[in-house]
Structure 1
């Protein structure tokens, strides 16, 4: 009989420090053929004689904790699909840093439910983001785990293919893989662990050689997710193999390398307060100069409507009088968009924007200016640009991250002609990184504050670096 493998999962990164709640409207949900069509590798020789059975997959931009009703409904749908037939295994397509409001270890709960209906014999393979978390429960419920090896993530689909291929090959061998988990008590933001630079570049660069060793199937390093306050949040290394000693050695070796490099991790760009970044950007001759409004980055779970960085831009006389051309991308505010988007372009507008979800100071900011552009964006929904002096303020109907240059062009902006671009992001995604002549990362307030000691952690497993420094971890 051909192998029969289910595919499904829930994929989101959730900040427990953000007041935003992620509901069904925030997710793109695929089922049936649409779900299967996501995976182009099904046409490859190793996958063709497998019956891939789509269950449900829900994916969202990072946000706040998921509403329990939404999570419960998708979990129930996955369980019902698994109960409807015989399966040799499951490909679990998840992020690994989902939080559900009022609960802990969401992915551990999900894999426990999957195991409850599959039983102990079928194999489960998880494909994850390297910013996910590997709890003991998740590890116990999976036979194979792998994650991205790049940040920014340019190997997302390669990782899912690897997870599926490892699963198929293990099923064909008829042997349950051996696996080793080593938690590394380090918790760092992604902006200090980009694989563009050392030490993360070297750490992840060791994986291909380790993976090629006899008896090793896969080796994976998780940075962990810094903006959730749960005991499972920490670095982790998992190695799987056909030889238990080889898997153990691989995991211990990578874990030691991760721990020994802990003091070398640094931000991937110069940092400062928003005012310090603006001062540097305006004085610097490099154009365009990007500033990351990192504390409210929706790509990590920020509410996307904190107005602190915008307020500081509007306080600069060079921006107000138009001698400095600037862009602020963006504020999530469907109410503000609805108030102005029906007006003719060029109309004078007066609107209060932002600060409706994350209400920290300064709250909603008054924009007195001109409606510069209106467009429909596949990510942001109805979007509008309000011009105030030399500043274009982008407003969106849905939370989005302005990581693609086409999104700027929809609102009439070519960043090559802009002096200063402030974008709610952490490390610059590839297109912005290539476009930037200068860049600083502003340590701004928000639900994904990069200054971790400012966050009110209460549930982490301690000690953990860098919140704690004078300790020696066990088992590494």
Structure 2
């Protein structure tokens, strides 16, 4: 009979944009994901998330006796308030204290910052190690865009990151960590981690794993892992909008005691640096891209021709408030139907719900939070539809996860359809279309504040997709941002 394992699990997942003026509060965590115990596992079952991976693993390993402590995440905004982080950290540490654990698994993002700590997740890792002592195994999973602090190797024993972007392997990343922990228990050995930081900060725009430099690196890492019998090889790009000393490319190897990871790390670090230039992107402005997109739509391209404003992508810490792309779409001389997603404006959503479907409505869109990224745009239209903002993803990105966008409304402004919402969340799953009564094939142009995650669910149902570079807190031109900790040599 297999010996029982007493394992604690906790999750604290957040990606902070240093240039987003909206701080992340405890309420942001409580609204997006706030669970523990059997409830957390039940809600995550059959989802493509870390906790979904845990639930699947436990169904195959009944000898694991798991205690699920606080599990939470918040949408990417500005730095997390110190009080919010302390509340979550202290609850996790209290749950760990005074217990005899065989191991602990933490699901972290790796690019959180707080008001006073540029590396809070690693502060948490060290605190967890202090509480549980030196004996229990400590495993951790990270987002591909983690800004990896070298100190994690002193606290954690095994780790893995997402190997895909869009991140459709969140559950698999958790499974990799849990499998490594189980193998360590069975072999009665203690694995270790080798981490190498690199002196450049690649743009996530060029980090998709369907093809390109990161796809090639992931394949090299998988081949090296298999050939050398390593526990895991993961590549990280850092999150370029978290201004920290650890914002840079990195690679990480989890290995077994008899192995020397040095040659593999050297070889893969060289392969990463050799591809540095391939991560660079050059994007057209909205002023140039919108007329070109309209020409393509009129010339027979599949509808909708899609324009992606990555500089205001909520999953890059965007504010859902910039207006450059929207303004250019309104300005083109065409009556072809267009769709814009989205503006974050709770007050305007409340007005639309109060007025009701079919009612006239006017006001301004955007420029509410940071008018330096585009003045507000006056509008006059009608309320076409209102929703409660709730749906379940149908994947592949975060498949099965329940989404709460807050209330939303659909406005009609001439030939333009605009979606507004109570929270700063974009469309990253086709179920968003169902919620809003949208058939994308009916729109010539589709403007969206998004980036690569959008492609996972929408690439098959959209026509040509073009990213554009607009003013915002997450631009492709990193020289526009006032970095304090990321040297210009990392991105020039």
TM-score normalised according to structure 1 size: 0.92
Identify the match of residue 445 of structure 2 among 409, 420, 423.
420
Matched-pair contact (CA < 8 Å) for 1:18–1:63: yes
State the match for 1:439 in structure 2: 465
**Distance of 1:121 and 1:128 partners within structure 2:** 22
1:436 deviates by 2.0
1:266 deviates by 4.1
Q: Does 1:343 align with 2:355?
A: yes
**Distance of 2:314 and 2:386 partners within structure 1:** 21
Identify the match of residue 74 of structure 1 among 80, 85, 88.
88
Identify the match of residue 209 of structure 2 among 192, 195, 216.
195
Provide Cα deviations, 1:393-441, integer angstroms capped at 9, x if missing partner. 1110111111222212322221111000001001242121112211111
1:223 deviates by 1.0
1:164 deviates by 1.2
Q: Does 1:126 align with 2:140?
A: yes
1:216-295 → structure 2 map (5 Å cutoff): 216-243=230-257, 245-267=259-281, 271-285=283-297, 286=301, 287-295=303-311
**Distance of 1:371 and 1:178 partners within structure 2:** 57
**Distance of 2:285 and 2:15 partners within structure 1:** 26
Provide Cα deviations, 1:23-70, integer angstroms capped at 9, x if missing partner. 12222111111223333223443x220111111111122222111111
Q: Does 1:303 align with 2:333?
A: no
1:311 deviates by 2.3
Q: Does 1:164 align with 2:182?
A: no
1:351 deviates by 2.1
Identify the match of residue 366 of structure 2 among 354, 366, 378.
354
Structure 2 alignment gaps of length 5 or more: 45-53, 391-403
Provide Cα deviations, 1:258-295, integer angstroms capped at 9, x if missing partner. 1111112244xx72101111011111132210001111
Q: Does 1:41 align with 2:56?
A: yes
RMSD of aligned C-alpha atoms?
A: 1.7
Matched-pair contact (CA < 8 Å) for 1:290–1:423: yes
More off after superposition, 293-302 vs 365-374? 365-374
Q: Does 1:140 align with 2:154?
A: yes
**Distance of 1:158 and 1:361 partners within structure 2:** 38
Provide Cα deviations, 1:342-391, integer angstroms capped at 9, x if missing partner. 22322111122333333324343322111111112123221111111111
Identify the match of residue 30 of structure 1 among 30, 35, 57.
35
TM-score normalised according to structure 2 size: 0.89
**Distance of 1:324 and 1:246 partners within structure 2:** 61
1:16 deviates by 0.5
Q: Does 1:403 align with 2:425?
A: no
State the match for 1:364 in structure 2: 376
Q: What SS is found at the alignment partner of 2:424?
A: coil
1:308 deviates by 2.6
Q: Which aligned runs of 4 or more in structure 1 are off by greater than 4 angstroms? A: none
Identify the match of residue 381 of structure 1 among 397, 401, 406.
406
Matched-pair contact (CA < 8 Å) for 1:215–1:243: no
**Distance of 2:374 and 2:209 partners within structure 1:** 35
Q: What SS is found at the alignment partner of 1:257?
A: helix
Provide Cα deviations, 1:163-196, integer angstroms capped at 9, x if missing partner. 1111122133222213211111121221111111
State the match for 1:393 in structure 2: 418
Q: What SS is found at the alignment partner of 2:227?
A: coil
**Distance of 2:115 and 2:65 partners within structure 1:** 35
Q: Quick one: structure 1 residues 425 and 463, their matched pair in 2 at CA, closer, same or farther if it must change by over 3 Å? A: closer
More off after superposition, 241-250 vs 19-28? 241-250
Matched-pair contact (CA < 8 Å) for 1:214–1:246: no
